[in-house]
Amino acid sequence: MPAPLPTALDRRRVLREAALLAAASLVVPGGSRRVLGQPKFGDYPFKLGVASGDPLADGFVAWTRLAPDPLDEGGDGGMPAEAVAVRWEVARDPAFFHVVRRGTAAALPERGHAVHVEVGGLEPDRWYWYRFAAGGEASPIGRARTFPVLGSPKERLRFAFASCQHHGQGYFNAYAAMLEDGLDFVLHLGDYIYESDWGARVRPHLPEPVTLDDYRRHHALYKLDRDLQAAHAAYPFLVTWDDHEVENDYANGQSENGDPVDDFLRRRAAAYQAYYENMPLRRTARPVGPDMRLFTSTGFGDLAHFVLLDNRQHRSDQPCGVPGALGGRLAPADCAERTAEERTMLGAEQERWALRHLGGAQAAWKVLAQQQLMAQLRQKAPGGGAAWWSDGWDGYPAARRRLLGFIGQRRLRDVVAVGGDIHSFWVTDLKADFDDPSSATVATEFVGTSVTSASPPVEAIAAALPDNPHVRFFEGRERGYARVEATPALWRTDFRAVRTVARPDAQARTLNSWVVERGQAGAKPA
């Protein structure tokens, strides 16, 4: 178990060191400019908390964003339109007696006064603590870790994966449960925010965003959740996105609403900028207009290699659309467009990259971390006959066949896919040929339910399960997350369900557990 997160901050020492900021010398991107070393804030500037992410063997990203008035209508978080000096420290202990790295960063107005510090030169496979200070104010303390050196022996990994957290539909109490799990990190698989307000209302939400200021306010609203803040402070996060960080069911440059491409790409640029500003990401992910490199890979010693995919930015448009019904829909069996070989979920560049990283991974477990249910789900069309949901992998069967075919042909062992999006728990066998139940199972899939977002059409999905024998388990009525423990011999997934999302203090229970034995694709009940 990692050391517990400290509950108090040595404010006198932090404030004494923060006083040195007035004389700090900063190199600000874009040339020299005035940097406020001792700004005057209207209120506490660290209301959005702290976070760490993208851990490597020698460091991690430490993040915060100055926002004394996070939901300010101007979208600037109540900050002046000037650069602000922010002091940061990393220590080997929560009392900061052994500081190993320190420095000063500029929080720039054009980046939402967010700070992304790429800390390096640290020891591998250990916990560190970090904090920030600005204008005589000290941030909460965050805890981060470095990963084991790639290929080094490691006997255990424990992480959680989560997705789909609608602020209006409930409290993020799944993250409170994670604090008791002794995790190495949290993997977030998309729909970190929702652009639209729908379903039963438990908490306030905001009008649909279009501009950068709008998206900044959305991220601020979500970051104000106490349990989400606590999880970010306790564990590093690995993140990828899905559609609602921009707009429901968008596909590359295609809006669900049929907006002109140029208009939608301006909106996408605003959403991507706000996403970067509010996540602990490296500068390699900094967006350029409407484009952002989010797919990445990382390794945890010799135990696990993670390939994080971006299923939204580079995909073909959803197939089988009809006028006035863009985005996802049930595509009938007679729609030839759906099965076209040239259709892509990942884009050509990312697809080649993913196959290369999967094929080269030497770790015990190869983990495909992506947004959606990967297994085929044969459903029933409203008028009868077979149908497939066009926004998921079923809308891109050629792309799925290329990916799973590569795993089978290269005899890649111990590949596990994890996903979200569908607001339900799933265990599936990923088949070489889903239409032939006797075909080889080439990989194992676990899909986690939503943190808060409402249930899918449970009855309709349950009715389709007899036509999908590769589905080993489905449960759509529960909210929560999935917890994983991996050793060199065994992968275990626990599906964790919270009692209710209508209250912030609900407890979680383990709904059931599944294991995968090394060298044998397919999960078994624990």
| Residue 90 structural domain | 11-145
Pull the structure tokens for residue 86: 């922010």
For every residue of 418-480, which 3-state class applies, written as one string? Answer: EECCCCCEEEEEEECCCCCCCCCEEEEEEECCCCCCCCCCHHHHHHHHHHCCCEEEEECCCCE
- d(Cα 178, Cα 125) in Å, to the nearest integer? 20
The CATH number of whichever domain residue 374 belongs to comes to 3.60.21.70
Identify whether 439 is part of a domain.
yes
Q: Do both 139 and 265 map to the same domain?
A: no
Q: Do both 376 and 499 map to the same domain?
A: yes
Q: Note whether 357 and 150 are within 8 A (CB).
A: no
Q: Do both 114 and 207 map to the same domain?
A: no
Cβ–Cβ contacts within 10 Å for residue 406, how many?
Answer: 16
Identify whether 6 is part of a domain.
no
Q: Do both 96 and 55 map to the same domain?
A: yes
Identify whether 310 is part of a domain.
yes
Q: Do both 271 and 388 map to the same domain?
A: yes
Q: Do both 122 and 245 map to the same domain?
A: no
Q: Do both 250 and 359 map to the same domain?
A: yes
The number of folded domains in the chain is 2
**What burial class does residue 69 get, using C-beta atoms within 10 Å of its C-beta: 0-12 exposed, 13-18 middle, 19+ buried?**
middle
Identify whether 5 is part of a domain.
no
- d(Cα 228, Cα 239) in Å, to the nearest integer? 14
Identify whether 225 is part of a domain.
yes
Q: Do both 175 and 202 map to the same domain?
A: yes
Q: Do both 302 and 356 map to the same domain?
A: yes
List the pLDDT tens digit at each of the 526 positions of the chain: 343 444 444 444 444 444 443 434 454 555 546 787 788 899 999 999 999 999 999 999 999 999 999 999 988 999 999 999 999 999 999 999 999 999 999 999 999 999 999 999 999 999 999 999 999 999 999 999 999 999 999 999 999 999 999 999 999 999 999 999 999 999 999 999 999 999 899 999 999 999 999 999 999 999 999 999 999 999 999 999 999 999 999 999 999 999 999 999 999 999 999 999 999 999 999 999 999 999 999 999 999 999 999 999 999 999 998 877 789 999 999 999 999 999 999 999 999 999 999 999 999 999 999 999 999 999 999 888 999 999 999 999 999 999 999 999 999 999 999 999 999 999 999 999 999 999 999 999 999 999 999 999 999 999 999 999 999 999 999 999 999 999 999 999 999 999 999 999 999 999 999 999 999 999 999 9
The CATH number of whichever domain residue 85 belongs to comes to 2.60.40.380
Contacts of 217 (CB under 8 A, 6+ apart): 70, 71, 72, 75, 206, 209
Q: Look-up: residue for tokens 């959606």?
A: 372
- d(Cα 395, Cα 388) in Å, to the nearest integer? 7
Put simply, whether the predicted model's pTM sits higher than 0.85 gets the answer yes
* Of the candidates 111, 114, 126, 68, the residue with the CA atom closest to the CA atom of residue 88: 114
- d(Cα 124, Cα 119) in Å, to the nearest integer? 13
Q: Do both 124 and 185 map to the same domain?
A: no
Q: Do both 196 and 140 map to the same domain?
A: no
Identify whether 317 is part of a domain.
yes
Q: Do both 121 and 239 map to the same domain?
A: no
Q: Look-up: residue for tokens 């590769």?
A: 470
The count of C-alpha atoms lying within 13 angstroms of the C-alpha of 157, restricted to the half-sphere facing its C-beta, is 33
